[in-house]
Structure 1
Amino acid sequence: MAAKAVWNGAVLASTDDYEVVEGNIYFPPASLNLSYFKPSSTVTTCGWKGQASYYTIEVAGKQNKDAAWYYASPLPAAANIKDHVAFWKGVKVEKH
């Protein structure tokens, strides 16, 4: 089953090969349309996944701050989502 992430009418990511962790779909780096992703200085820490970094999504001049996150160096228990990106803050993620 394929998955895609859409915000403000733009497809941010689309793939048949993704990981699901805690109900979130994590998209592999190759599935991202990087023209919509702007680096953010925001970081958070998860006790079992490690430190998450964020992207702000920008589509047609509108920004969705920190709407995507990823683990560049996850802890061993989350190694399967290294560099994969998940979404929130109104980004619609759907399986089809």
Structure 2
Amino acid sequence: MTNLSLRNIWFRKDNVDVWHDIPNRYAVNYDIDVDMGKGQILLNGISSLTEMINGSNFFMIPPGETTIVTTPSNWVNHPLEIEYSWEENYL
């Protein structure tokens, strides 16, 4: 054998109680905009549909009163800063 190369390696660690030092996906002050009407996701003003989870869909808020619940992961130890805004359309 004259050529030995490692093209891909995949590692999985099972049976652990706690994962340490998992980096946050988004940096501090990251701006994420989800426009349900246009069907787009903007990260700091740049379109990024790769942030959408497979099988999910954009939805419209129905007329009337609606409750939106945002639940962070259990390791979040500070209050979230979330702003919801919408425009009413009359037909």
Q: Please give the TM-score of this superposition, normalised by the length of structure 1.
A: 0.22
Higher strand share: 1
- Greater Rg by CA: 2
Higher helix share: 1
